[in-house]
Amino acid sequence: MTLKNHGVLIIEDDFRIAEINRQFVEQSAGFKVLHEARTKAEALAFLADHADQISLVLLDAYIPDATGLELLWEIRRLYRHIDIVMVTAAREVDTIQEALRGGVFDYLIKPTQSERMAHMLSRFVQERTLLEQKQEMSQEELDMALNRRPVVSEPAPAAPGTGTLPKGIDRLTLDTVVNTMAQTQAPQTAVELAKTIGASRSTARRYLEYLVAQGRACAEQAYGEVGRPERRYRLNR
């Protein structure tokens, strides 16, 4: 039996994060990324011509010309056959609740683990296959489908024995921040780091300030555009 290919549209304004998500998706059999859109306008223009080829949209909450939630409802209105997964740094409860009300298939918080993405894609195939094979469903089958309601997925917590981290700091993200900074020679702002790791500016700043407080990094005051002060961070050698 030939495995059905599910077309995927990635809506993500950071090309680096989009490429990572593309690699995650295409590691799973039966999926093909057909397009990466950077804006709402580009996404809707692509869907206008190719919606029949798309089964799944990976949607960021932060895009230049709209909020991800606005685009979620727009896609819901125009293309009801398409499932949507939020892949975003947005952790606010209001955002999560509205996404769930909008019927998202899943909600993944950046930085996304490849294993968690693979698990979501596997469930997607199982549910699509079940629904396509059935004319009617029993209560047991329906319960199995409905019980996959998304659980907001965060990076894995610290492993036992790796030390206790304060609330709001997890081991995986901390290691990502440290490794990213170690590969960069020049000091970075929170905005620059956030773009690199695919997190929000406030998240990046929280981890940077934690490293400063632990003596693992230092911050220096610099002046950016039009004389505005900004903090730049670097690891202590």
Whether pLDDT at 156 is above 90? no
Cis omega (within 30 of 0) for bond into 187: no
Q: Which domain holds residue 60?
A: 6-146
* pLDDT higher at 14 or 59: 59
Task: Give the pLDDT score at 33.
Answer: 96
Contact 150, 107 (CB under 8 A): yes
Are 187 and 137 in the same domain?
no
Give the range among 51-55, 70-74, 114-118, 223-227 with minimum mean pLDDT: 223-227
Same domain, 108 and 216: no
Cα 217 to Cα 212: distance, rounded to the nearest angstrom: 5
Residues 227 and 120 occupy one common structural domain:
no
Nearest to 217 by CA among 192, 193, 182: 182
Give which of 27, 28, 22 is closest to 9, Cα–Cα. 22
Residues 14 and 124 occupy one common structural domain:
yes
Provide the whole-model pTM.
0.62
If one compares 204 and 85, the residue with the highest pLDDT of the two is 85
Distance CA 134, CA 132 (A): 6
- 70 with 120, same domain: the answer is yes
The CATH number of residue 176's host domain is 1.10.10.10
- Whether 163 is in a domain gets the answer no
Last residue of a domain, one of 99, 129, 146: 146
Q: HSE (CB half, 13 Å, CA atoms) of 138?
A: 2
Amino acid, single-letter form, for residue 188? Q
Query: Does 118 share its domain with 180?
Result: no
**For the chain, where are the E strands, in sequence order?**
6-11, 31-37, 54-59, 62-63, 66-67, 83-88, 106-109, 217-223, 229-235
- Domains contained in the chain, number: 2
